Structure formats: C-alpha cells, structure tokens
Amino acid sequence: MAIREIVTYPAPVLREKAVKIETFDDKLQELADDMIETMYHAQGVGLAGNQIGIARQIVVIDISNHEGEESKVQNIVIINPVISEGEGQIPDQEGCLSVVEYSAKVDRFQKIRVTAQDVEGNELDFIAQDHFARIIQHEVDHLHGTLFIDRISSLKRSLYKKKLKKILKNKRKGKE
C-alpha cells in the first residue's frame, strides 16, 4: 500500500467525469488499498478517484464506529456508484481534502438509495442515511466533476476563489 498525492482545486482532473470501471483485478484492489491509506493519512472520511488524479469511478469511505471504547476502523469501497433515489433535504457543513482551507453549508439528501459494485465486482444495493448518505453524495459528485463549492452561492464561491489565489500566491513566494 502507498499513500498517494491528493490533488487540489483548481486541478483539471477534479472537473473530469470519471470512467466506469470494467476490470476487477489485483490492480483495482491495490488502488482501493492505496486510496484507503491515503484517506486515513489525510484524516478524511471519503476519497474519490479524481482526488488522487485518477478519473475512474471508485470511492472509499470510512464507516468506522467512532462511538465508545470499542471503535473499530472500517471502510467501504464503492465502484461505479449510482444514486437512484433521494429524500429529505438537510443543510450541513462540508469540507473537502481537495478544496483547501474552506468549508460551507451544503444541502444534501438525508436518505439515498445506492447501487454499485464492490472491489470484486459484486453488486451492491443499499440505503444510506444521514452522515453516511452525505459522504456518498459528496464523493459521487467528485466522480461527475462536481465539487461541493459548486453547490454554494456564486458570491461565496467567488470569495473562496479570491482566498485561494492568496493562498497559492503565498505558497509560491515561500518556495522562491
């Protein structure tokens, strides 16, 4: 397993539509393992292929039980996900490993139905709710080239872009 570099906005790959995965092999398992390790290393709760520069329809999500003393690290790998139903709109704060130094309230469905495949190609069909549903929707957006900042007002988005320009300018000055 290896930690991959997380691509940050405005990298073009974040705007690409991810390609459906057709081959379920050891390379795919290795990619999934790398993504899981990368997600945990970055202290994230989800990661999509685009975020490591690979525009393929793969998502990893932390589904650990963080409650109580017996917390176990668990995750799920979702291949070629499709959200077919959604109900209830709930606003909540979101951030993103690919959108540096910014978070905002975003409306998402409270409950969704997901069809997908696991890393071995087996069919998945399940209902996700609340925080888990939010993470899936956020990561599936990545696979469609959409970022959570696309779901906020144009004013907030333009303020973030100005902030990002300053951040990037300061990083460049630091390297010189």
- Judged against a pLDDT cut of 90, whether residue 175 lies above it is answered with no
Residue 31 lies in a domain: yes
Residue 39 lies in a domain: yes
pLDDT score recorded for residue 66:
57
- Judged against a pLDDT cut of 60, whether residue 14 lies above it is answered with yes
62: domain CATH number is: 3.90.45.10
Q: Could you tell me the pLDDT band of residue 167, with boundaries at 50, 70 and 90?
A: confident
Q: Is 139 a catalytic residue?
A: yes
Residue range 98-147, pLDDT digits in tens: 999 999 999 999 999 999 999 999 999 999 999 999 999 999 999 999 99
pTM above 0.85, yes or no: yes
The residue annotated as part of the active site, out of 16, 94, 120, 139, is: 139
Q: What is the dihedral of CA 1, 5, 77, 111, to 10 degrees?
A: 150
Residue 7 lies in a domain: no
Q: Burial code of 95-129, b = ≥16 C-beta within 10 A, e = fewer?
A: bbbbbbebebebebbbebbbebbebeeeeeeeebe
pLDDT score recorded for residue 171:
79
Residue range 16-48, pLDDT digits in tens: 999 999 999 999 999 999 999 999 999 999 999
pLDDT score recorded for residue 169:
86
Residue 156 lies in a domain: yes
- Judged against a pLDDT cut of 70, whether residue 4 lies above it is answered with yes
pLDDT score recorded for residue 76:
96
Residue 6 lies in a domain: no
Range of the domain at 139: 12-175
Residue 136 lies in a domain: yes
Domain count, the chain: 1
Reduced to 3 states (helix: H, G, I; strand: E, B; else coil), residue 9 is coil
Residue 4 lies in a domain: no
Residue 49 lies in a domain: yes
Residue range 58-100, pLDDT digits in tens: 999 999 865 555 556 799 999 999 999 999 999 999 999 999 9
